Structure 1
Amino acid sequence: MLILNSGGTFNKKYNEMTGELEVPYDNFIIEKILASTDVKYNLAGAVYKDSLQMTFDDRKMIANILMESVEKKFLLVHGTDTMNLTAEFLDEIFDDRIIVLTGAMKPFEIDKVEASLNLGMSIGFLKAVSENGIYICMSGHIERWNKIEKNREIGKFQVVR
């Protein structure tokens, strides 16, 4: 399993100098959560952006990393605003891998529970699932990417039928 960090709210940290939440160019938050396990995971970073700034070229870079990897299962930490766009993009390319996208509505720095839960659920799902596909894990749900969406009114992801 490869965990690939692309940024998003999950990773954001407060910058005291600017007063803004920023996506850092590191994997510190994921490393901190994973430190509570006794399993070593392959972890890499790419893009490090808020998903609203993610471009077609960024998605191509992510796809290339997944394509060149020897792994078959992937966990992509991604911003929630365009998670569905990246999932759809990856679905058009891959039919021979299992890819789970996850993120957080609030930064780990503000709410340690949500990010940790989503990361943990995603890892557990990847360990158990054998059916190739693109999935999203958010708000206590893990579904195929086109069966779950962000409900901006309530600030959670919901399963759609």
Structure 2
Amino acid sequence: MSDIKIFTTGGTIDKVYYDAKSDFQIGDPQIEPILQEAGVTLSFEVQSLLRKDSLEMTDEDRARVREAVQQDSHQRILITHGTDTMIDTALALGDCADKTVVLTGAMQPARFRITDAVFNVGFALGVAMSHPAGVYVAMNGQVFDPRKSVKNRAEGRFEASQ
């Protein structure tokens, strides 16, 4: 069995923009190229669950993610996810606390020359491999408890909630 299971759900990290006037599309998951280019030596398995902008995710989609996490035999799981509703999905995973589950994403697509995707994925992988069982959001060098955090859309970052 691999060291970690990675589920992809879409979001900005996997977005493709064809030109300034076109709509985006969710492309192929970018997690494998990111990890390969980074020289990650852990063994991992990737499974694509969804290819959606997180604003389009439904309660049924979150249930599908929760079921995949619960049914998987891995104890360490990383989920790439759109940032707008990442907290919602993390909260839906609250009953998966017997595993270490980390959600991460990006504010800029992984395909862009300047992106936070590579850093966020590497950081989240480290969190998944080093933290005890629980559900976490790992973004921009910080680990958040989804029950006590929010996305600050104006600043483009996650923060602890008051």
TM superposition score normalised by structure 2? 0.89
Distance in 1 of aligned mates of 2:142 and 2:77: 17
Over aligned residue pairs, what C-alpha RMSD do you find? 1.8
CA contact (8 A) 1:141 1:159 kept: no
- 1:111: Cα distance to partner? 4.8
1:31 corresponds to? 32
Look up the equivalent residue of 1:110 and give its one-letter code. Answer: F
- Asked if 1:14 is matched to 2:17, the reply is yes
SS in 1 for 2:24: strand
Kindly report which structure 2 residues correspond to 1:76-95, keeping only aligned pairs within 5 A, or say none.
Answer: 76-91=79-94, 93-95=95-97
Look up the equivalent residue of 1:13 and give its one-letter code. Answer: V
Kindly report which structure 2 residues correspond to 1:67-146, keeping only aligned pairs within 5 A, or say none.
Answer: 67-91=70-94, 93-129=95-131, 131-146=132-147
TM superposition score normalised by structure 1? 0.89
In structure 1, runs of 5+ residues without a counterpart are none
Distance in 2 of aligned mates of 1:54 and 1:94: 19
Question: Between Structure 1 and Structure 2, how many residues are aligned?
Answer: 157
Distance in 2 of aligned mates of 1:75 and 1:147: 20
2:149 corresponds to? 148
2:48 corresponds to? 45
Q: Which 4+ stretches in 1 moved above 4 angstroms?
A: none
- 1:60: Cα distance to partner? 1.1
CA contact (8 A) 1:100 1:126 kept: yes
